[in-house]
Amino acid sequence: IGAHMKPSPPRRKRLPKENPKPLTARWPFRLIETLACLALIGAFIGGGVYYLRTAPEFRVRTIRVEGANKLADETIIQLSGITNADCTLFLNSAAIRARIMKQPYVRECKVTRHFPGCVAIAIEERTALATLMVNNRLFEVDDECNVLREIEPDKPHPGPFITNADGLGYVEPGKKLDNNPVACALAVWRAFSQTAMSREVTVSEISAAQENRLCMYCNELEFEIRWGRDNFEKQARKLDIFWRSQTKPVRCKSYLDLRFGNDVACK
């Protein structure tokens, strides 16, 4: 039996495994590789941004202003801060709108970019309703008590003068007045402007010394018209009915008072 057994092959000696490098030895190379990749990506992005910022096809070529009547288009463009050197892609519409909204005559503003090189600025303007007189200075005000601008005494002024408004303090264009008598005087003027009587007489002044006694003066009348603090539309209708029912000139000498319910007191 032993003669027929094949000899077993010699066993190979196993070589000792190489010890891997510890992580502490490899991390600087990994860090360098990561930083190099990030630098390459950053350079690529930076180059792309630089190209877009400087590309002629994306420069602002047209600025279109819509809705401006009182303000000149050039004034709106100057307020926007946009120039032909700006890139349409990177314009900050919110910042442009905020700059334009600082102009007192601007009620609302919308900035729209039209690629590749056009910017549209649509504005809604405020309209002066009356003229506020404070310490011998005149200011245009709109229907929301916003002070629009100061005007010279010898220049044309919108609406009647609103006078005798106490507690105003310092009046500055661009600010909104927190004064109820002035708000009531503006409401009186709006309500009266809807009457037929307003087309026959000229209101020169509304005294706002008291909320419950707003006195309106007209060039053609020798008496004052006294208004209460609320229901201005109702008082205006009552005044209009009284005016149409009277023969002219109306026989009031001192005042016409609208503060007594459905009655009109005339003295």
Residue 176 pLDDT: 94
Task: Going residue by residue through the chain, which has 267 residues, state the pLDDT in tens, using 9 for 90 and above.
Answer: 445 555 666 665 565 555 555 656 566 767 777 776 776 676 556 555 555 555 677 799 999 999 999 999 999 999 999 999 899 989 999 999 999 999 999 999 999 999 899 999 999 999 999 999 998 899 999 999 999 999 999 999 999 999 999 778 789 999 999 889 999 999 999 999 999 999 999 999 999 998 888 999 999 999 999 999 889 999 999 999 999 999 988 989 999 999 988 889 999
For strands 213-218 and 224-227, give the pairing: antiparallel
Q: What is the pTM of this model?
A: 0.77
CA distance 100 to 97: 5
Residue 101 pLDDT: 96
Using CA atoms, how far residue 75 sits from 14, 65, 96, in Å, is: 89, 10, 13
CA distance 132 to 161: 6
Residue 45 pLDDT: 61
Residue 227 pLDDT: 96
Residue 97 pLDDT: 97
Q: At residue 147, what are phi and psi to the nearest 5 degrees?
A: -85, 120
